Amino acid sequence: MNQQTYLHVQENKKYTAHLAGNVLTVTGSEMGTEIPATASEGQAATFNVEESADKIQLLSKNATAGSSLVAMEHLFTHKPDLKAIALNQQSVVRADFYQNPSLWCAYGTQNVKPEQWMYSGNVYHPIRPQQKPGELLYSRYIPSIGKTLSFRVMDVERDLKTFHFWHNQPYVNEFWELAKPEAELKEYIEKGLADLHSIPTFVEFDGVPVGYFEMYWTLEDRLGPYYESEAFDRGFHLLIGNMDYLGFKNTDAILKSATHYLFLEEPRTRKIMAEPRSDNQRIIRYVETFSAWKKLKEFDFPHKRAALLECRRERFFMGNFL
């Protein structure tokens, strides 16, 4: 835990946190050049760390908001049993800290607009925002895998060949049934980018494409009529296409980060849903280990027998899964 680099997404700035003894130093960097993390030229933010059984006290006179958040992230990330941090006598508990979007999420409470509604697909629903191709949505360092995970909106020209390769692997096609030519998959991606109810994204580890994450609003989705869907419920489909990154630890990192992102991106989202095929034992077994998620029932889509999975905001954040 001596040194780690973090991306502050909303500042679009990298910070390096270094702990030596009881002194934590946080230095900002921009365009590959080290810059002070404070307004005082030539200085980094320094924190004196005083640790007790379940709480850490940080003391600093020269920290900015960004460097303070990074200091807390460094300690919470590397101390999974730590319950709270007091910064200059103001206490922050773990569950509250991980509901602050500014470090990891490009969108958050400052982007929330008054609800405007529209009618489409035989249902009234809020007008949804649209992200730009290639846009970074979320980034967070994951200590369990030692990598920075990110979600970014797909870019057709950049991502089509990788997307095509993944879908033409038998273990992916078994559940997705999209082993199609590039031209057809290009249309699929372009349709997803134009459709406000869904966002096609790539999952990356340290900038390496790992998988495909398709998030959607359930109210206007085909899933909406099969349960009591609410205005800001989210759902997703996921595949890990890069075979070098299969395995429990990577799947765990992706699904916990996906859940985190969807709750951060829209603070009015209370539930996240998933509807994998009921015989997809890899996902069903995983949910049994991630207790924020519950299997509610099985039901029949026109094209498949599905399991309905639910994650509630309070179960996720109060369960300390990050």
The answer on pLDDT for 302 being more than 70 is yes
Q: What percent of the chain has pLDDT over 70?
A: 94
Q: Distance of alpha carbon 217 from its chain centroid, rounded?
A: 16
At 229 the three-state DSSP class reads coil
* pLDDT for 38: 46
**Across 149-170, average pLDDT:** 95
DSSP assigned state of 1: -
Question: Is residue 140 within 8 Å of 148, Cβ to Cβ?
Answer: yes
Give the pair of three-digit tokens for residue 256: 């916990």
Q: How is 26-59 classified by DSSP, letter by letter? A: EEEEETTEEE-SSSSTT--EEEEEEE-SSEEEEE
**pLDDT in the model for residue 71:** 96
Question: Whats the size of the chain, residue-wise?
Answer: 322
In this prediction, residue 109 carries a pLDDT of: 64
Token reading at 51: 């640790």
Report d(CA 322, CA 314) in Å as an integer: 14
Confidence at residue 125, expressed as pLDDT on a 0 to 100 scale: 93
SS3 22: coil
Q: Place 34 in a pLDDT band, splitting at 50, 70 and 90.
A: very low
Across-strand partners of 23?
A: 20, 48
Burial code of 290-300, b = ≥16 C-beta within 10 A, e = fewer? bebbeeeeeee
Question: What is the identity of the amino acid at 133?
Answer: P
**Distance between CA atoms of 15 and 7, rounded to whole angstroms?**
6
DSSP assignments along 99-157, one per residue: T-GGGTBSS-GGG-----EEEETTEEEEPPP-PPTT-EEEEEEETTTTEEEEEEE--HH
Is the model's pLDDT at 31 over the cut of 50?
Answer: no
Catalytic residues: 275
Average pLDDT, the chain: 90
- Asked if 287 and 311 touch (Cβ cutoff 8 Å), the reply is no
Q: Classify burial at 47, counting beta carbons within 10 Å of its beta carbon; exposed 0-12, middle 13-18, buried 19 or more.
A: buried
Query: Could you tell me the residue ranges of all domains in the chain?
Result: 3-97, 113-318
Q: What's the pTM?
A: 0.92
Residue 40 has pLDDT above 60, yes or no: no
User: What CA–CA distances, in Å, run from 97 to 70, 71, 74, 219?
Assistant: 11, 12, 12, 29
| Cα–Cα distance measured from residue 63 to residue 46, given in angstroms and rounded to the nearest whole number | 7
CA 63 – CA 261 distance, rounded (Å): 27
Please, are residues 185 and 163 in contact by the beta-carbon 8 Å criterion?
A: yes
CATH fold of 113-318 reads Aminopeptidase (3.40.630)
Opening angle at CA 6, ends 10 and 289, nearest 5: 100
